[in-house]
Structure 1
Amino acid sequence: MLTSDKKEFYEALLDKKTEYEGIFYVGVKTTGVFCRPTCPARKPKFENCEFFETAQQALLASFRPCKRCRPLSHPNHVSELVRTLVEAVEENPEKRWKDKDFQELSVDASTARRQFKKRFGMTFVEYARARRMGLAMKQIRVGETVMDAQLSSGYESSSGFRDAFSRIMGEAPALVENSSVLKASWLDTKLGPMIAIADEEFLFLLEFVDRRGLEREVERLREKTKSAIIPGRTQPINLIEKELTQYFNGELREFKTPLALLGSPFQKSVWHELKKIPIGQTASYSRIAESIGNPSAFRAVARANGANQLAIIIPCHRVINANGELGGYGGGLSRKRWLINHEKLIKKVLSKSR
């Protein structure tokens, strides 16, 4: 988000301008809550504000909904079902919801899904997951110092932060014998926060935090590498953060960060072929299949595309349907469209500078 937008939103927050309802949400660093623009609470200082376009982004950044302005419901209208479920999540944010949990609250799961989807564009399960992921990602943002202090006290505490992190990232390295360690870091980008996981030599994972199935991806990575994953920084993470900044500024044609590709021989062949697609261009699944010498395997190519754990660097967003439609993308079609258009601009700028 541009600094000018942040200043505009902050002025709207101070003036409680109703026309900005639904345009942005504000996370308050000092309290850990996020609010709607018209919240009646005392206004924070500008430097203590983080602005988000959606409630889901605020949740994924570890902020909890304000109890005064209730940003997860329309102004002046709070569904009792929505209120009940939001409060239930706050009581146990690391919980993974199942059908029996809805039954215990005398809530119909399909009704909860519809009401949450209608209110703010995501289902209740997606909301609960975003809250859980947000808490876990907060551990990544605060860094190793806090994590080390928590690890030293063991897992007796019922802290939702640590429980959420351990559920997603795995056991603490102090509790895993003979395990290797991967470091995870939160990276803010123009298209939303991403998580990077690497050792001291290679980058293993780069994904948007709100990607569906991210928890399973991290779990598979942990199992394949037999590693514990903790918050921290390594040289590959520092490098990819620098390169992403250059990329989003339109100054980078090719990523140089060393990568660890964990996949089958077929998947690796597809990923290597993806990296050959020039910036500013696209290719179809069928063309990729032909390029690897297996023209009938376009569906398998699509699956390999979906299994890519290194978003943007291995440019699966450059693969589209043969009819010109965008096809799928784990980070969302709006991001895929933006990336393709952004790279066309990069191509024009770089070609002029030659």
Structure 2
Amino acid sequence: MDTLFSLPDPEALYRALTTRDPAYEGRALVGVTTTGIFCRLTCPARKPRPEHCRWFDSPAAALGAGFRPCRRCHPLGPQADGDPVVRRMLAALAADPTRRWTEAEVAATGLDPSTVRRAFRRHYGISFLDLARQMRLRAGVGALQGGAPVIEAQLDAGFDSASGFREAFARLFGHPPRALTHGAPGLVADWIDTPLGGMIVLADAGSLHLLEFVDRKALGASLRAVSAAAGGRIGLGRTAVTDAVQTQLAEYFAARRAVFDLPLTLHGTPFQRAVWQALVAIPAGATVSYGDLAAGLGRPSAARAVARANGANRIAIVVPCHRVIGADGTLTGYAGGLWRKQALIDIERRLALGQP
């Protein structure tokens, strides 16, 4: 059994599988060794024999073990939707995205804060309070882009102190908000929603400099590094490049675009840029190993250096570091989360087959 959290014994899990017990939604998944697919326990597909089952407590654990998500029960994004704790708290967040949540307020809903915290970490890699903070920060970003003074943006975002807003903003962007609203910076940042979560886009009038999921831990460091490399502050706003990124991402997620046509500025060493350019050359629907990538660059002994460069990529999806997998064919680490990596690979399989 492969788990991060405690699960019932395999006999109990198998009973839940055969009866399609909804109580296990969001808590357990089954991997079928004969097909290499993992499912919810409520999946309507034919049930495997007990000896062909492996049990997991999260999509990431199943993906990391080399299983593919089922196309009938969709255990990636919809898995979170099946968790009643997650569903209830997401509904509360959607009703008031600027609310300043605390553990006491979570408890006031009748749910145990530790249960809520574990559920969100299991599905999203961050706690509910962190997710709520991101939503409030996003509201502040929108207000600043509309020309609102910092104090108005602070109130729109639901922060009860200017220092709290500035600290949260600086953690995400690498700069306090006031520095972003004055002058005419060459680089501007905006937030784009995608089916796999919010992304920060950093662009100027001529090219894309950064595209990362907002919950990536290294986002603040990446923004600071790109800003320093460009020799200026990061502002808030959009350019024609930002609009093109948003349009082409929407086409990609709809499985209608296999190749991005965007001008890129790659901030890195010559070796890193060579690795990133090699990633762009991998066709949608194909995957390679780190060793394959190193050999293609004429550096067959540099697989580890290639892996480090892959992890340092700051333009997610467009520079497709998700197309690199382990030498044994299993998924390996991805800064956006293995569940996202598998989802991107699935989109590209549809693209390769011409199936929008």
Structure with more contact order per residue of length (Cα contacts < 8 Å, sep ≥ 6): 2
Identity of aligned residues (%): 35
Q: SS at 2:85's partner residue?
A: coil
> How is 1:63-102 mapped onto 2 (pairs within 5 angstroms)?
64-65=100-101, 70=106, 76=110, 78=112
1:160 aligned to which of 158, 164, 169: 164
Runs of 4+ in structure 1 over 6 Å off: 66-69, 175-179
Matches of 1:254 and 1:176, distance apart in 2: 34
- Give the alignment of 1:69-148 within 5 angstroms: 70=106, 76=110, 78=112, 118=118, 120-121=120-121, 127=127, 130=131, 133-147=134-148
CA distance in 1, matches of 2:118, 2:103: 20
Kept in 2, the 8 Å contact 1:281–1:318? The answer is yes
1:319 corresponds in structure 2 to: 324
1:135 touches 1:161 (CA, 8 Å); kept in 2? no
* Structure 2 letter corresponding to 1:160: G
* Cα deviation code 1:222-244 (max 9, x no counterpart): 22223212221111100000000
| 1:81-111 deviations in Å (ceiling 9; x for gaps) | x6xxxxxxxxxxxxxxxxxxxxxxxxxxxxx
- Once the two structures are superposed, the pairs formed by residues 1-354 of structure 1 within 5 Å of their partners are 21-25=84-88, 34=93, 49=95, 64-65=100-101, 70=106, 76=110, 78=112, 118=118, 120-121=120-121, 127=127, 130=131, 133-147=134-148, 149-150=149-150, 158=162, 160-169=164-173, 170-171=175-176, 180-349=185-354
Give 1:22's aligned amino acid: V
State the 1:218 CA deviation: 1.3
Structure 2 vs 1, CA of residues 24 and 233 (structure 1 numbering), >3 Å: closer, same or farther? same
TM-score normalized with structure 2 length: 0.64
Alpha-carbon distance, 1:257 to partner: 1.5
Does the CA contact (< 8 Å) of 2:167 and 2:176 recur in 1?
no
SS at match of 2:229: helix
Matched residue type, 1:161: F
Aligned to 2:11: none
Which ranges in structure 2 are unaligned for 5 or more consecutive residues?
1-81, 154-160
Q: Could you tell me how far apart the structure 2 residues matched to 1:292 and 1:202 are?
A: 25
| Deviation, structure 1 residue 162 | 3.7
- The 3 A distance-change label for structure 1 pair 66 and 126 is closer
8 Å contact 2:208–2:262 — kept in the other structure?
Answer: yes
Q: CA deviation at 1:150?
A: 2.3
Code of the residue aligned with 2:290 in structure 1: it is: Y
Cα distance between partner residues in 2 of 1:152 and 1:62: 13
Q: Distance in 2 between matches of 1:259 and 1:274?
A: 13
Write the letter of the residue equivalent to 1:141: G
Length, aligned pairs only? 266
In structure 2, C-alpha distance between the alignment counterparts of 1:163 and 1:309, rounded to whole Å: 23
- Provide closer, same or farther for how the CA distance between residues 68 and 74 of structure 1 changes in structure 2, counting only shifts above 3 A: closer
Aligned partners of 1:184 and 1:232 also within 8 Å: yes
Q: Is this contact kept in 2: 1:34–1:65, CA < 8 A?
A: no
Could you tell me whether the CA contact under 8 Å between 2:169 and 2:176 is conserved in 1?
Answer: no
Query: Take 2:117 and 2:185, find their aligned partners in 1: how far apart are those partners?
Result: 41
Structure 1 unmatched ranges of 5 or more: 1-18, 36-48, 51-60, 83-114
Structure 1 length normalisation: TM-score?
0.65
- Conserved 8 A contact 1:62-1:137: no
- Measured in 2, the distance between the counterparts of 1:198 and 1:323 equals 37
Report SS of the residue matched to 1:24.
helix
- Provide the C-alpha distance between the structure 2 equivalents of 1:168 and 1:209, rounded to a whole number of angstroms: 8
In structure 2, what is the Cα distance between the partners aligned to 1:290 and 1:297? 8
